[in-house]
Structure 1
């Protein structure tokens, strides 16, 4: 009798396990992206005071995975299986940063990436690098973007030099208690960071 009960118990556990796996396998994959509106703008290099080149954003470890990251504790970050970014986070964040900086810095020529430009008049420029250590939600109901940015200046005469390093941390409550709310909160935090960067850059004396 005991053996029969044990077999029945394990059979129930197996059914529940297989049922859970089946539901997971049938779960629809949802894709997310930053919903940053694009404003029609144009700018000529001859009308600007400085050039800023925005490097591709660097994310540590698994944060650049398509699965949206959630921090479980101090030493564990999980990537979602069915809630994915629509593109690699580094590309999405770089495009968003470029758009915000281009909008905020009206007298700068802001360029995404590091194109080869041979015009001698454009050999002096600033270069912005982002390094993100956190880009995730957490188990306290927050969206967390933390890291640092570096600013370099390159001139034809003096070469490349490091001008500044700034650490930042944007940890804010989620706008909604789901992945959509997390994505919206991360986007707002990222815009805040880039607006702060723009404010810092706008007061620089152009060399």
Structure 2
């Protein structure tokens, strides 16, 4: 009887250990989304202007692994299983860097994530207030940006403006939301490039 009891206890312990192991190796059910960049940053060595793109800053609710969804006028829900593949501020900076380098043909745009270069003639600063979807089916992207000259005498603000962009999401789901947010990023880069080119007489 005692031998059977010991055997039963041993089997029970083994079963519990196997159960615990199976729980720890369950596959992650999260889905990861990337802000793709179609533009390749050109290596411009002889450019008329050199612009430093400071790392984009974002509102605190955006600085999360989960994608944000506005559920009412004053409520934001952060997804648990629909996640950004990289930090949103880094992704937005990367996309703007690539697109601005292609749109501003006479300027070299440096990614300021690596630090400031001494040859920067201008500085572009962007802050994002809103970057999310809504339950009403909209993608929302807003904030402000500033373009300033930089020299030994200090910085002079040349452009200081807000942007408020939104567009309907074509399909339900986070994949369509991320795709629409990516399109809004392109709209912002086009607006920035147009105004900067006008300021620099490009």
Given the two structures, how large is their TM-score scaled by the length of structure 1?
A: 0.79
Contact 2:40 2:98 survives alignment (8 Å):
no
Gaps of 5+ in 1: 1-24
Give, in angstroms, the shift of residue 160 of structure 1. Answer: 1.4
Partner of 1:105: 104
Cα deviation per residue 1:150-189 (whole Å; 9 max; x = unaligned)? 1121112x21122221111111001321100000000000
Greater Rg over alpha carbons, structure = 2
Partner of 2:22: none
Contact 2:36 2:95 survives alignment (8 Å):
no
Contact 2:39 2:102 survives alignment (8 Å):
no
Gaps of 5+ in 2: 1-25
The CA RMSD measured in Å over matched residues stands at 2.0
Residue 125 (str. 1) matches residue 121 (str. 2): yes
* Equivalences for residues 44-123 of structure 1 within 5 A: 44=45, 47-113=46-112, 115-118=115-118, 122=119
Q: How many residues align?
A: 176
Partner SS, residue 176 of structure 1: coil
Given the two structures, how large is their TM-score scaled by the length of structure 2?
A: 0.81
- Runs of 4+ with deviation above 6 angstroms: none
Give, in angstroms, the shift of residue 56 of structure 1. Answer: 1.0
Partner of 2:5: none
